[in-house]
Chains A and B, each alone.
Chain A
């Protein structure tokens, strides 16, 4: 090629220099109350996460409800034990997706979409255990070092191909390196699953709940309106950062079978702590307009949850907004069903009124509107509903 011998020689020289710089990803677990030395790469990661945490703290996305935060933090402390407890700061983040994450400085996020889907405290405990394992095993630091090492490797590869004169190969180089990076992610997830299982079961939670939450998620996604979502569960890509879900479920089920000791699910405590948020979390979930998933979730909650008035009302809302053939009837049925429970939101009466009026059932409409005004005397749409009542009375006379 056109490159001189000197050029090749020089490139080889730099390559050697870079290789020497390869950093170890084999790090010891972080001890309770341990902080990184200021001169390390780890301290740099902490510094940046401390900065983002300052902003997170004041973010409108963070749920500030004291009772809920105390509850989640208490579950976290039970899982990680009293020594690590002060190192963790759990934030409940108002996002309607099933997600949780862990920053290297001890900042943990639990998203409300996850709290909505967990069935009991044991399932939340496994999620917390999993995230805590990322912290304790210093996975962020390991991954940062992998990124650095791979960036070096990537540079080597491009330099190598530049010398050899095969520019297209650089694309391949990036691809294989990206796949390797994601692959490291999968190993860490597997480790976090296993350690998380250990932490949660040692804290006295029922082992079979670890797989249960994933099994539920798979079935929910199978009911998604979006084909993209449905396909994603089965897909085993080299880019998948987590072990394919079925493999993950198998691993967790095997662990539960081995563990054999029985633990608690603490379902009642969980439902009591999250109950006040059920309606607003479902409302946020509906914003995604994936009615298949959403209705499947509500049906699942209906099976086990005492908050039937809220749940039937929310399912009625989903049908009302979906507007497929027959949905109006389904919605009305759900609103009426909801109205037979103590915890029915007053808005159910307004919706009954609206649907009855549209079907020409004036007497029922009138009664429903009046009940709404009675139950929600401060409603912002009070004047509007009163005008409907007046119009209905005029039509009747």
Chain B
């Protein structure tokens, strides 16, 4: 009774970790057979000319230590480093544009903001599954009209902006035991022992409608590392490659 919950909390934790691990593995799998394409909305939402205001929403990052047994353990310090590096890389990448870029820290007292970040996670997962991972939805064959809904206007209460930029990133880094086991078992003919990896997706969202006007996903193997500034920068470069805000600038 009193007790059961303690266990349940652990289960919950395991579930989240499992989900994150599954997502990372999925993304790595994806990289092996498809090339990632960035998606643009088919809704009537042409990105305006001229200087725009873009809110960089505090990225949703979770980095874990992948143990020999396959258990992933969240690391608070890596998560903070990764988050800081990604935010700095996003700022750098957008600094060259004419747009006004504002970093936005979530207000914990505003539950709706926290929920919208979670919503972005869910919608992003759904997009991945149905657009990138080979489970197409018949009703969305020729459309890309995903949206977070007009609830995103809540951000305007604190800071006026034309667009919101969300980033979701997960990564796991294998312990030396895990790496040794993967190599050893591979030599012995047993494959499929993951050694971690990193994945992230980003959405550019219209502040008035909540429509996702642009979406992209990228993953990297264990080689690059978002815990380091260069690793974060290369991940962001990959994701932002075809971002409309950046392309537009070159065209005008």
A, B co-complexed = yes
Q: How far is the CB of A160 from chain B (nearest CB, A)?
A: 14
Q: Are B69 and A44 in contact (CB under 8 A)?
A: no
Q: Are B3 and A185 in contact (CB under 8 A)?
A: yes
Bound CA span A14–B69, Å: 11
Chain A residues closer than 8 Å to B32, beta-carbon distance: none
Query: Is A10 part of the binding interface, using a Cβ–Cβ cutoff of 8 Å?
Result: yes
Bound CA span A134–B2, Å: 11
Give the interface residue-count category, chain B.
35 or more
Contact for A48 among B8, B13, B77, CB less than 8 A: B13
Contact for B69 among A98, A154, A192, CB less than 8 A: A154
Given contacts A17-B177, A44-B76, A46-B76, contact A134 B187 (CB under 8 A): no
Given contacts A18-B69, A103-B9, A241-B7, contact A127 B181 (CB under 8 A): no
Chain B residues closer than 8 Å to A46, beta-carbon distance: 76
| Interface residues of chain A: helix, strand, loop or mixed (majority) | helix
Total cross-chain contacts (CB, 8 A):
135
Query: Is A219 part of the binding interface, using a Cβ–Cβ cutoff of 8 Å?
Result: no
Query: Is A49 part of the binding interface, using a Cβ–Cβ cutoff of 8 Å?
Result: yes
Which single residue of chain B is at the shortest CB-CB distance from A10? B184
Flag the segment in A141-149, A307-315, A369-377 that touches B: A141-149
Q: Are A189 and B13 in contact (CB under 8 A)?
A: no
Interface residues of B in 3-29 (CB under 8 A from A): 3-10, 12-14, 16
Query: Is B38 part of the binding interface, using a Cβ–Cβ cutoff of 8 Å?
Result: no
Query: Is A55 part of the binding interface, using a Cβ–Cβ cutoff of 8 Å?
Result: yes
Contact with B along A211-224 (1 / 0, CB 8 A): 00000010000000
Q: When A and B form their complex, which 4 residue pairs have the shortest distance between CB atoms, in order from nearest?
A: A101-B5, A58-B111, A43-B76, A44-B74
Can you list 22 A-B pairs with a CB-CB distance of less than 8 A?
A10-B187, A13-B180, A14-B184, A21-B68, A21-B177, A43-B75, A47-B74, A47-B79, A49-B9, A54-B111, A58-B115, A99-B5, A100-B2, A100-B5, A101-B5, A102-B6, A143-B7, A151-B69, A152-B67, A188-B6, A241-B3, A242-B3
Residues of A within 8 A of B (CB): 6-7, 10-11, 13-14, 17-18, 20-21, 36, 38-41, 43-49, 52, 54-55, 57-58, 98-103, 109, 127, 130-131, 134, 139-140, 143-144, 147-148, 151-152, 154-155, 185, 188-189, 192, 217, 241-242
